[in-house]
Amino acid sequence: MKIGYHFALRWAHWRRRRYVQRLHDIARFPGATAPECDATFYSFSGTRDLPEQVACLKSFLRFAVSPRRIVVVGDGTHTESDRAILQALHPRLETLPWDRFIRKDLPPPLTAYAEAYPLGKKIAVLMSVPATGSWMFSDSDILYFPAASDLRSRMGKDREGPEYLEDCYPSLDVRLIQADDEKQSPVNSGFGLVHQPLDWSEAMERFRGMKGEPGYFTEQTLFHLAMRRSGGRALPKEQYVIQSDDQWMARDRHTGPSVVLRHYFSSIRYKMWLKVPLRT
């Protein structure tokens, strides 16, 4: 039995419950704020992930940058109370439901995907980001650490080409992949930095010709193809972390002094709550 793991799992669940109990106070407390940046921060989430979204934003605003605009796009489940909590985090934060945010001229197959699947909504949101200025995208289950000051230089106006979080596995919908070399340096759609509009043309062409219903990794593969088409570069793996090799360990192996962020996806989500401070 992995006693340490099971203890850490229970401890993490208790910490998340405690965080939820104090969520209103935590959101209202201003805390330290990083220097301002001429960029827009986007995130996509729903009421189920509200605690993670608050923790993500608190860590980002403290350690990374204070962007000119923060937009949390909801999946349609946010309540009025949820939106009030989010808006208390920053004076420039706004919340919008996904169907008010997405472009009206999206290809019909993509619109149908968005209406039927949560991850379809997410890719529709990414495709609908206005083509003006630099922007970044973050899933709600990401924490930022003191080394996130690295993002200030990466969001500079002289940057060229997008940058992405390289996945630890090639989690791709193979129906959209035409050659083995396209699987190299797989993109994780949980985080990205964009300075010019992404080129979605190839991704949409393949999506239109895809057989069958979208799968779990269809959204991520479309983002992967758009990043490749747009000349995207992988962020340094040691600083921008997505790993699961410590899933069964009580400790977090990937939060050293040089780590900018860690994506605590699905199977390691509990580890996020071992790091989130419970104080305001």
* Domains annotated on the chain, with CATH: 3-272 (3.90.550)
Give the pTM: 0.95
Given a cut of 80, whether residue 1 has pLDDT beyond it is no
Q: How many CB atoms lie within 10 A of CB 83?
A: 19
Q: pLDDT per residue over 236-272, tens digit each?
A: 999 999 999 999 998 899 999 999 999 999 999 999 9
What is the share, in percent, of the chain residues with pLDDT greater than 70? 98
* Amino acid, res. 162: P
- Report the DSSP beta bridge partners of residue 135: 40, 194
If DSSP codes are grouped into helix, strand and coil, which group holds residue 68? strand
Compute the average pLDDT of residues 87-113. 96
Token pair belonging to 7: 């203890």
Whose tokens are 């009025």? That residue is 80
* Average pLDDT of every residue of the chain: 94
Among 77, 88, 72, CA closest to 26: 88
